[in-house]
Amino acid sequence: MTQQTTQIVIIGAGPSGLALGAKLNKLGIDNIILEKQTKEYVLARIRAGILEQTTVDFLSDIDASDRLKEEGIPHHGVQLAYDNQLMQIGLGENTGGKVVTAYGQTEVTKDLCDIREKSGRSVIYQAEDVSLHDFDTDAPYVTYRTDGTNHQIYCQIIAGCDGFHGVSRASVPKAALNIFEKTYPFGWLGVLSDVPPVSAEVVYANTPRGFALCSMRSWSRSRYYIQCTPDDHIDNWSDDRFWDELRRRLPDALGEAMETGPSIEKSIAPIRSFISEPMRFGRLLLAGDAAHIVPPTGAKGLNLAFSDIFYLSEAVKAFFDKKDEAALDQYSQKALKRVWKAQRFSWYLTNLTHRFSDDPFDQRVKEAELDYIRHSVAGRQMIAENYVGMPF
């Protein structure tokens, strides 16, 4: 068995793990990243693509924003569609100039991978049988296997950035976890296609046929979603059937203007809210999807991961600079305050834009809320402030 020593072992080479590695490198804190998948697999993941201003600022701080500044598409508004109408909510005008930026998570991951390689610190891909040990002491360590050889890394902190199904949260005794969870009675059928976006701003539609979402990855690549049953299957949806259904869920003017083409990716995702508290267990700190899942409505998942990394890196710096153990506890408290605010907004926007109740009362309340937002400056400000992201 080989043995190594580092200050922090990061489990997971997704955006949160790579971003943490980049931030720690700037702080002069030694770190090693372990990833069970191949690099090609990590870079092929297709995920969200709307970045809050705080996320853009954070990526700039870790020198990961050069391509983002060139290729990212600022969104100065968001559209709510109902009753065959479009309601535009200006972001900058309601937030003192803050906007969001369309830039795919896949591109963010590529940028972070490039930074990692330039730093000279590699990622250990295809790490098998990763196991976390003694994180309830001040001498944790991690074991794993590559190419039939067993390895052991001694460290002072373990950062669990390995997602909902990763080993990090699963290593915590269940009695130590407080789980808050809500499963929604629908899924999202998503299609990625190399066609121009139907709108320069994200469109959320509440229609009698169900929810629809129009977003973009670039001016030539669009990401569209429609609400479906949670047990539906992509085999039931040809491209033609998807485009036809999407048109029916959009205001007439948008449906007629929409360009269609072959799908390059198609999937159905369940919709759920999930939070595991706390986010610190001794010397193990969880971040991103390892600790929480939000509905994709509102595009908070990736942005929350980066806010976690911001708070986590602050706590780690205080811990190593001042031997401040309390800073690790404060990480969980600070991160969770922002997580719950994002959960509230994601839940609110999901309820406002989806139809999943046969009770006509529920739908009339949603229509009243939409009408209130249309005619209320305060209502539009609330949505805009939450959409561009709360400050760190």
Position 358 scores a pLDDT of 82
Buried (b) or exposed (e) across 221-243, using 16+ Cβ within 10 A? bbbbbbbbeeeeeeeebeeeebb
State how far the Cα of 71 lies from the Cα of 79, in Å rounded to an integer: 22
Confirm if 159 and 9 have CB atoms less than 8 A apart. Answer: yes
Angle made by CA atoms 314, 21, 15, in degrees to the nearest 5: 100
Quick: pLDDT tens for 170-201. Answer: 999 999 999 999 999 999 999 999 999 999 99
10 Å Cβ neighbour count for 85?
A: 11
0.85 surpassed by pTM: yes
**Domains of the chain listed by start with CATH number:** 2-50+104-180+273-349 (3.50.50.60)
- pLDDT tens, N- to C-terminus, the chain (392 residues): 899 999 999 999 999 999 999 999 999 999 999 999 999 999 987 777 899 999 999 999 999 999 999 999 999 999 999 999 999 999 999 999 999 999 999 999 999 999 999 999 889 999 999 999 999 999 999 999 999 999 999 999 999 999 999 999 999 999 999 999 999 999 999 999 999 999 999 999 999 999 999 999 899 999 999 999 999 999 999 999 999 999 999 999 999 999 999 999 999 999 999 999 999 999 999 999 999 999 999 999 999 999 999 999 999 999 999 888 899 989 999 999 999 999 999 999 999 999 988 888 998 999 999 999 999 999 999 999 999 999 88
Pairing of strands 212-218, 221-228: antiparallel
- Residues with catalytic roles: 75, 204, 296, 300, 387
DSSP state of 46: -
Q: What is the DSSP letter of 333?
A: H
Q: How far apart are CA 132 and CA 60, in angstroms?
A: 32
pLDDT at site 168: 98
Q: Convert the pLDDT of each residue in 325-371 to its tens digit.
A: 899 989 999 999 999 999 999 999 999 999 988 888 998 999 999 99
